[in-house]
Structure 1
Amino acid sequence: MKQGIIVLLLATLFWECQPKPSENLMLNQEDYSQKVNPFIGTTNQGNTNPGAILPWGMASALPHTKNFREKANGPAYYEYGDEQIYGFGNVNLSGLGCPIAGSVPLKLSRGNFDWEIDNFASGYSKEKAHAGYYGVSLDKHQIYAEMTATQRSTLYRFKNEGKGKKINLFLDMGANASHRKGGKLKVVNPNLITGAQYDGGFCGFPKSTEIYFAIEVNQPSNKVTVYQDQKPTEDKEAEGKKAGVVWEFDKDTEQIEVKVGISLVSVKNALENLRKEQGDYSFEKVHQLAVNEWNEQLSKVEIETSNVDNETIFYTALYHSLLLPHVVSDVNGEYYSRETEQVLVANDYTRYSTFSLWDTYRTLHPFLALMYPKEQRDMVVTMVEMYKECGRLPKWELFGYDTFCMVGDPAVPVITDSFLKGITDFDTDLALEGMLKSALDTNDNLIRPGIKQYINHGFIPIDDRGGDPKKFSWTNGIVWGPVSTTLEYNLADFNIAQLAKAIGKNQVAETFYQRSQSFKNLYDPKTTFFRPKMKNGEWLESFDPTDRFFDIRWERSGGKGFVEGNAWQYNFFVPHAMNELKALMGEEVFHNKLSELFENGEYDLTNEPDITFPYLFNYVKGKESKTQELVRNQGDLHFTNAPDGIPGNDDAGTLSAWLVFSQLGFFPDAPGIPTYQLTTPKFDKAILHLDDYIYEGKTIEIVKTGKNERFFNQITVGDKTRDEIYQLSHSELVNAGKLIFHTNSGQLSEVEN
C-alpha cells in the first residue's frame, strides 16, 4: 500500500508540473508547443531531456541532475526523479548512447563561494516545460530558473525568491558531461566572458573538439573572480579542468539574465551568433520566438483526437524527431571541419552535425525526407560535402569529426532514399563517387572494415575479422558482428545500385545489386537463421540464436556474429530483399518464424535491427492484420505520456520517428525502396502539410472510417477504392490528396476471427 501511495503522489506531482498554455498567443490560435511533454523519455534510459531548444538547435539550455565534475556520468544529463539539480548546460544532445557535451555548465549558490560540489546541488520543485522553455525552482538556493533558446544561443532568467545571502553565478569549466573535461575562459569585461569548452571521448573514440562560447550577464555584479586550479587569481584568463569564473550579486538582486552564444568555429562567431539572434530582445520575446518556431514545425502534422494523452504522446514524438541532426554552421555560414582542421563556409546550404546514422537511416531520415525535405536536402548536401573535404561519407559524425561508431555504411541509404523521394538538388555524381569509395577501398577502410573479406567471400568470416577481437576499437579494422555487418553492407550495396540505376550508371547498378544479394551465403536452411560462417565456408559451431553474450565489445553487445542483438533479431534484416528472403525460406517458414519471434519474446523495439519486423506480415498474403495488431500493441505498450514513455534510448529520434510513422498509418520499411507499409492509423483524422520545396504545398488528409478501431482491409487513395492494399508507393502517397482507411468494409480480419 505504501508503494502505491508513493506512486500516486509522484504521478500527481508530475501532472501538476506540466506547462500551462502560453498567455502570449492570440486567442483561438492553436499552440502546438503546449502539446509537447518534454519529460517523456527522461527515465527508462530514453536519454531525452526537458530543456529549451529550437528545432535542430545547436544550443540548448537544460538542467543537469548528474554530477559531471569528476567523470562522465552516463549519456543522460537529466533523469526525472533525481533528487538534485547541479547546474545547467548549454550544448546538450537528445537520445544518445554515450556521454558527450553538457557544455558551458552554469551553477548557482548562496553565501560565501565554495568550490565544493555540494554547495551548488539543490533540491527542486515547480518544474514545467514545453517546447522551447524550461522552468524550475531551486529550493536550496531560493531561485526560480527559467530558460529558452534561439538556434545558436540560450537565455536564462534567474529570479531571486530568497533573502539574506548573496547570489553566486558560477561557470564551472570542469563539469561538462563528456569524457574530456575542462576549458579556457577570458574576462573581456565584468559582463562578458568568452572561451572554449573542451569536449570529446565519445563512445571510446579519442578525438575531441572545442565548443566556443560567449556569456553576457545583464545585471551589474559586485565582484567577478577568476579561478585557476580551484584558486582565485588576479588574471583575467584561466584554463583547465579546475578553471572557472564567479559573478557575485547582492542578496537583494531581483533577477539576473544570462545570455550564452555558442559556436564550433570561434569566440567571435559565438558572440556574433548571440547578438544577431537575440539582439536586445527581452526574455519574453525570445521565448515567444521559440514557441512560434515550434508551432511552425509541429503544425505541419495535424491530428484530430479527443484523447489528450494520445495527442501529447504523438506531438512529443514529433518534437523528439526534430532535434537531431543539429545546425552547426554559424549565422555567417562558417563551420569547422575538424577532419581537415579548416574553417569553411556553407554558401548555399545549412551545415548540420551529429549524424547517428546507424540508427536514424531507418526512420528519422525517411520522415524528414517526407515532411521536412528542405532540411533533409541540406543534411544530404552536408554528407556529400564531408566526402569532398576528407574523402569519406560520414558514418557517425559529431561536431565536425567522424567517430566511426557502429557498423555498416549508413550514409548510403540516407542519400539514395532521399534522392528517390524527389530530393535531387545535390551533386549525385559526387555522392555516388563517395559511395563507391567506401564500397571498394580495401586499404584501411574506416567506413567499411572487413570490406576485403566481404568482397572475396561474399560475407565476412567470423574467423577473419581484421584483427584481435580482444583489442577492439572503431579504427583498427576489426569487424564487430560479421553477420550483422555483412547484412548492413548488403543494404548499402543495394542502395548504391538504386542510385546508380537512377542516374544511368547501369553497370555499377548491376554489380552492386548482385553484391546486395550475398546475404544468401549466411542463411542456414537447417536452422532457418543467418549465422556466422568461417572463412573455409563451414558454419561456426555451438550456434545459439538467443545468445547475446557477447561478440567483442561489452556484455550483451550481441551474440557471436551479431551487433546489439541476436540471430532472432537479425533473422529478417534484409529490408531491401524481403521477397527474396521469403523465397529463400519458403513462405510458410517465413511466416512461422516471424510469428515465433513475437511469441517467444525475442522482438525488441528498444533497438534498431528489428524495429521494422511488425510490418513484415504485410509480405504474407492473408496475414496483414498481424501487422495492424502488432504495430498498435507495440505502440500503445511502449509509448506513454510519462517520463518512462519511450521504451529505451531514443537514439537521436529514431524510436520517436517510428511512432510518428506508425500512428499515421504508414511506415518506410526499406530505405532505397520508396514504398510504405500500411497499418491502421491511430487517429480518426490527420492532415500532413507537405513542404513547398519539392511537394508544392500539397496536403495529405488521412482518414479512418468505421467502428473497427484496429483493422482495415480496404483503402481509398484519392478517388480510387481498393481492397487488400497494404503497400503504397511514395509517389502515390504524396499525390493522393486523401487517404481513407475503411475499417468496416464487411470482411473480418484473421486476428478478429
Structure 2
Amino acid sequence: MKYFSKKLLSILLVLAVGSSCSQLPTQQQEIETVSVTDYVNPFIGTLNKGNTYPGAVLPWGMASPNPQTKDFRLRAGTPATYEHGDPFIYGFSSINLSGVGCPGGGSIPIKLSTGELDLSSDSFKSSYNSEVAEPGYYKVILNQHKLKAEMTATKRSARYNFSFNPEVKKSNMYIDLASQMSHMKGGEINVEEDGTITGYQLDGEFCDCEGIAKIYFALEVIGEPKEIKVFKDQKEINSKKASGKDVGVALLFDNKPSTLDVKVGISFVSVANAKLNLSQEQRDLSFEDIKLAAKAEWEKQLSKVEIAEGDITDKTVFYTALYHSIIMPHVISDINGEYPLMEKEGVGKAEGYTRYSAYSLWDTYRSVHPLNALLYPKEQRDMTVTMLEMYKESGWLPKWELYGNESWVMVGDPAVPVIVDTYMKGITDFDTDVALEAMLKGATTKENNPLRPGIKNYIELGYCPIDDRGGDPKDFTFHNGIVWGPVSTTLEYNFADYTISKFAEALGKDDVAKQMYEQSMSFKKLYDAETQFFRPKTKAGEWMEPFNPLDRHFDIRWKGSGGKGYCEGTAWQYRFFVPHAMNELKELMGEEAYFTNLEALFEEGHFDLSNEPDITFPYLFNYLDKKHHYTQKYTKAESEKYFKNAPIGIPGNDDAGTMSAWLVMTQLGIFPDAPGIPTYQLTTPKFNHVQLHLDEYVYGGKVIALEKNGQGDYFDNVTNGNGETLKGFSIEHKDLINSGKLVFNTQLSAIVE
C-alpha cells in the first residue's frame, strides 16, 4: 500500500483539552497522500466517563497495550484504565476493555523506574508529556524516569519499546500482578531458564461475576538484565516462581542497552499458547514492522467507508467512532484455534470460525452488531457462531460474557436480536436449528432460568410484577435471580420474543412464530392509557403508586441507575421502547399524542443519548406522516451536541462501541432502529459523498454510494441508483445492498412545527 513506500505527511494538532496530540492532516496534505488512519484520534472518549483508551490495538484485537493513569495496586480499579489529564502514569498493561462500565482487564502490568529498585507505587509513577496516539500505536515521555515509551500490537501480542535517556545509569522493569484493574488480584509468575517471564494473571468479579479467568502470558526482553528478582508480598524470595495475590518479577538493568524491547504474548488457554501466539505473530519482526502492519490493518477495515470530501474535524470524529466500534468483542481463540470453554473447565478448538469474547450485548445489540452485519459480515458471522457455541457449552446464550465467564449483567435477552438480525441480513452460514433451540430455551423455560429472571411471571401474567421480583433486593447481584427494572425487563423480553417469532417464521416454524408473536405483544398490559406511560404493575394487576415518570429510584447499588421499575432510565426513557411495535404503540397513544409525547421527550430534556434505552427515539418520527423532518432535526442536533474531537467527545460510557456505532450509522444516514427487523430508518447524512465498500462474503463486493444532493439539513425524498424514489423514509436491508446509490435530495430548511 502507498504508505509503505511513501512517508505520510501529517502535523501535530493540539487537542481541545490538555496537551495530548494526535496526528491529523492539514487541508493541503489531505489532497496528497493521507491515510484514513490519520483521521483517528484515540483520545476521544478518554474523559466524560467514556472509558475508552488511547493505547495500541488491532480491530477486534486480544492484545491492547495501554498506559495506566490510575494506581490499581491491591485495589479495585475504575472502569477507565486511563483518563485524559490525570497527572501520572503508573505503568502499562497489555489487555484492556474499551468503554465498559465495570473494571476488568488492565492485565500483565509493566512498571518502569530508575535508580535503586523500590516497589512502592510512588517510585513507578511519573508525570508525562508528548503523548501521541494513532491506530495501532501509542507513545509518551515519562518525565521522572527520563524515558520514551512506545507500544504497538498484533492480534494476540503486545510490543513495547522503552528508550531511556543515556544519563540514566540504572533502570528497572517490574511485572506486578497486583496492579491490574480487576477486583481479582494476583496470579502466578515464573522466570524460565532463558529469562522469559511466564505465568498467568487472574481476572474476575467483573460486575459481581462469580467466574474467574486466567490470562496466560509470555514476556521476553531483548537485552540482558543485570539481575532478575522474584517477589511475593513485596518481599524478595529465593525462587524462580511465585503465586498469590501480590507477586511480581523485577528486571534490573545497568542501562546497557539503553533501549528495552519487550514482547508479550497472551493466551486464555496456556503459557504454551501465549508463546505460540508471540512467536507466530511477531516472528523476527522489528517494532517498526509491527507498527506498520497494525496501521495497514486499520487502513483496511476503516476504508470500508470512503468519504470523498468533508471537514477534517468532522472526518476525525466519524472515523474515530468507526475505530471505537470495531475494538470489541475481541478475539479470544489462539492462533491454533484453542480457547477456554464457556462456564466450564477445559479447552475448545474453533474450527471454521474465529472465537470472540467480551460481549456487552445489552448495549451492542442496538448498533455495534448491526454495523458489523453491514460492513464486517464475516466477523459478525463468527461472533454469531461464537454465541451458539457458548450456548452448547454452557446451556444458555450469552448476556454479558467476559473471558469465558457469564456475568448476567443488565436485562433482557440481548443475544437473540443479534442472531436474528444477522440471519435476516443474509448472513445465514450458521446452525439455525441450534439457534432456534437456544432462543426458545431462554424464552420458555420457567424455572432455573438465569438468562431471563422473572420469566415465570412474564409468561403467566404477560409482565414482570413490581412486587415479585425474585432474589433479595437487599443483596443485589446480577446472578441472584432478581428482576432489575420489571418494566424494562418486560419490554426487552417482548422485543426479543418478537425477533424469535420472525426467525421462526423465516424457518417455516409457524406455530413457534405465532406463540412468540403473542408473547411479544404483552407490553400492552403495562401501558397506562391515562398517563400514556409504561408503568410498574403489581402481581394482582394494580398500578404501582405513587408514580413519578421522572423518578430516579436507587434500585441498585449505583445511584441514579433507574426509576423504580426501570433499568438505567426513567419512564420517559422507556416511553417508546417497543421497537417491534411502533404501529401498535401509535394505536394505544393515538397518533397525535404519539407525536406530542415524542417531541416533548426532546424539547423538555428527557432524551438521554448517554445511555442505551432511548437511543433509537430520534428515528421514531419517521413512523409519522410528514414528521420525518424531526428525525433529521434531532439526529443532527444530538450528534453535534455530544460528539466532539476532544477527550470529552463521547456522551458518557461508550459501552463497547455502542455510542460510537450510533454516530457512525447516524452520520451515514441509515440507522437500524429495531435490530432483527432488516430495515434502516433514514436521516440526513453528515457528508456529501460516501461510498460503502461491502465485503465479498455475502455482499459480493458491492459498492453503495450515499450522497447529498444540495447543502441542506432536510430532505423530502430519497432516490436510488435507478432514479426511483423510495416510498417513505426507511429502506429494507436487501434494497440498500442492491441500491447502488442513495441520493438524499436536501433543502436548507423545512417546516418543523
Show the counterpart of 2:708.
704
Show the counterpart of 2:740.
737
Q: Go from structure 1 to structure 2 and tell me whether the alpha carbon gap of 1:727 and 1:338 turns closer, same or farther (over 3 Å shift).
A: closer
Pick from 456, 459, 472: which aligns with 1:455? 459
Partner of 1:387, secondary structure, is helix
Show the counterpart of 1:547.
551
**Alpha-carbon contact 2:209-2:406 (below 8 Å) kept:** no
Show the counterpart of 2:725.
722
Task: Specify the code of the residue in structure 2 equivalent to 1:528.
Answer: Q
Pick from 237, 241, 248: which aligns with 1:237? 241
Partner of 1:209, secondary structure, is strand
Pick from 209, 212, 216: which aligns with 1:212? 216
Deviation readout 1:640-662 (Å, 9 max, x if unpaired): 00000001000000000000000
Deviation at 1:552, TM superposition (A): 3.9
Q: Go from structure 1 to structure 2 and tell me whether the alpha carbon gap of 1:235 and 1:77 turns closer, same or farther (over 3 Å shift).
A: same
Pick from 324, 346, 355: which aligns with 1:342? 346
Q: Distance in 1 between matches of 2:726 and 2:711?
A: 18
Partner of 2:660, secondary structure, is helix
Q: Go from structure 1 to structure 2 and tell me whether the alpha carbon gap of 1:11 and 1:380 turns closer, same or farther (over 3 Å shift).
A: closer
Q: Distance in 1 between matches of 2:537 and 2:72?
A: 44
Deviation at 1:443, TM superposition (A): 1.4
Q: Distance in 1 between matches of 2:153 and 2:398?
A: 28
Deviation at 1:511, TM superposition (A): 0.6
Q: Is residue 331 of structure 1 aligned with residue 332 of structure 2?
A: no
Q: Distance in 2 between matches of 1:322 and 1:552?
A: 30
Pick from 561, 583, 600: which aligns with 2:587? 583
Show the counterpart of 2:182.
178
Q: Is residue 375 of structure 1 aligned with residue 379 of structure 2?
A: yes
Q: Is residue 125 of structure 1 aligned with residue 126 of structure 2?
A: no
Deviation at 1:306, TM superposition (A): 3.5
Q: Distance in 1 between matches of 2:711 and 2:17?
A: 37
Partner of 1:212, secondary structure, is strand
Q: Is residue 401 of structure 1 aligned with residue 405 of structure 2?
A: yes
- Unaligned 5+ residue runs, structure 1? 1-8
Show the counterpart of 1:467.
471
Q: Go from structure 1 to structure 2 and tell me whether the alpha carbon gap of 1:101 and 1:123 turns closer, same or farther (over 3 Å shift).
A: same
Q: Go from structure 1 to structure 2 and tell me whether the alpha carbon gap of 1:16 and 1:417 turns closer, same or farther (over 3 Å shift).
A: closer
Q: Distance in 2 between matches of 1:393 and 1:313?
A: 34
Q: Map 1:469-618 onto structure 2 (within 5 A).
A: 469-618=473-622
Q: Distance in 1 between matches of 2:47 and 2:512?
A: 47
Pick from 610, 623, 634: which aligns with 1:630? 634
**Alpha-carbon contact 2:526-2:535 (below 8 Å) kept:** yes
Pick from 71, 84, 90: which aligns with 1:86? 90
Pick from 421, 427, 442: which aligns with 2:425? 421
Show the counterpart of 1:31.
35
Show the counterpart of 2:3.
none
TM-score, scaled relative to structure 1: 0.96
Deviation readout 1:663-716 (Å, 9 max, x if unpaired): 0011000011110100000000100000010000001001101132x1011211
Task: Specify the code of the residue in structure 1 equivalent to 2:70.
Answer: K
Pick from 18, 33, 37: which aligns with 2:22? 18
Q: Distance in 1 between matches of 2:16 and 2:478?
A: 46
Partner of 2:719, secondary structure, is strand
Q: Map 1:656-675 onto structure 2 (within 5 A).
A: 656-675=660-679
RMSD (CA atoms):
1.8
Partner of 2:23, secondary structure, is coil
Show the counterpart of 2:263.
259
Deviation at 1:749, TM superposition (A): 2.2
Q: Distance in 2 between matches of 1:447 and 1:497?
A: 19
TM-score, scaled relative to structure 2: 0.96
Task: Specify the code of the residue in structure 1 equivalent to 2:291.
Answer: H
**Alpha-carbon contact 1:470-1:552 (below 8 Å) kept:** no
Q: Distance in 1 between matches of 2:434 and 2:224?
A: 54
Deviation readout 1:216-274 (Å, 9 max, x if unpaired): 00111111111122111220001122211111111353211000000000000001000
Q: Map 1:94-243 onto structure 2 (within 5 A).
A: 94-189=98-193, 191-243=195-247
**Alpha-carbon contact 1:56-1:323 (below 8 Å) kept:** yes
**Alpha-carbon contact 2:18-2:85 (below 8 Å) kept:** no
Partner of 1:271, secondary structure, is helix
- Unaligned 5+ residue runs, structure 2? 1-12
Deviation at 1:190, TM superposition (A): 5.2
Q: Distance in 1 between matches of 2:255 and 2:294?
A: 31
**Alpha-carbon contact 1:486-1:519 (below 8 Å) kept:** yes
Q: Distance in 2 between matches of 1:29 and 1:414?
A: 38
Q: Go from structure 1 to structure 2 and tell me whether the alpha carbon gap of 1:494 and 1:723 turns closer, same or farther (over 3 Å shift).
A: closer
Worse-matched range after superposition: 564-573 or 154-163: 154-163
Q: Distance in 2 between matches of 1:130 and 1:578?
A: 42
Task: Specify the code of the residue in structure 2 equivalent to 1:498.
Answer: K
Task: Specify the code of the residue in structure 1 equivalent to 2:538.
Answer: M
Q: Is residue 411 of structure 1 aligned with residue 415 of structure 2?
A: yes
Pick from 647, 651, 674: which aligns with 1:647? 651
Show the counterpart of 1:4.
none
Show the counterpart of 1:6.
none
Task: Specify the code of the residue in structure 2 equivalent to 1:623.
Answer: K
Task: Specify the code of the residue in structure 1 equivalent to 2:110.
Answer: L
Deviation at 1:165, TM superposition (A): 3.0
Deviation at 1:29, TM superposition (A): 5.0
Partner of 2:539, secondary structure, is coil
Partner of 1:316, secondary structure, is helix
Partner of 1:53, secondary structure, is coil
**Alpha-carbon contact 1:84-1:121 (below 8 Å) kept:** yes
Q: Distance in 1 between matches of 2:326 and 2:35?
A: 17
Alignment length (residue pairs): 739
Task: Specify the code of the residue in structure 1 equivalent to 2:415.
Answer: A
**Alpha-carbon contact 2:17-2:646 (below 8 Å) kept:** no
Q: Distance in 2 between matches of 1:347 and 1:485?
A: 36
Worse-matched range after superposition: 494-503 or 305-314: 305-314
Show the counterpart of 1:685.
689
Show the counterpart of 1:281.
285
Q: Distance in 2 between matches of 1:233 and 1:467?
A: 46
Show the counterpart of 1:432.
436
Worse-matched range after superposition: 158-167 or 171-180: 158-167
Task: Specify the code of the residue in structure 1 equivalent to 2:606.
Answer: E
Q: Distance in 1 between matches of 2:597 and 2:24?
A: 48
Partner of 1:388, secondary structure, is helix
Between the two proteins, what is the percent identity of the paired residues?
Answer: 56
Q: Go from structure 1 to structure 2 and tell me whether the alpha carbon gap of 1:147 and 1:534 turns closer, same or farther (over 3 Å shift).
A: same
**Alpha-carbon contact 1:174-1:240 (below 8 Å) kept:** no
Partner of 2:214, secondary structure, is strand
Partner of 2:613, secondary structure, is helix
**Alpha-carbon contact 2:709-2:746 (below 8 Å) kept:** yes
Q: Map 1:310-321 onto structure 2 (within 5 A).
A: 310-321=314-325
Partner of 1:194, secondary structure, is strand
Deviation readout 1:19-63 (Å, 9 max, x if unpaired): 3679xx9x9654222210000000000000000000000011000
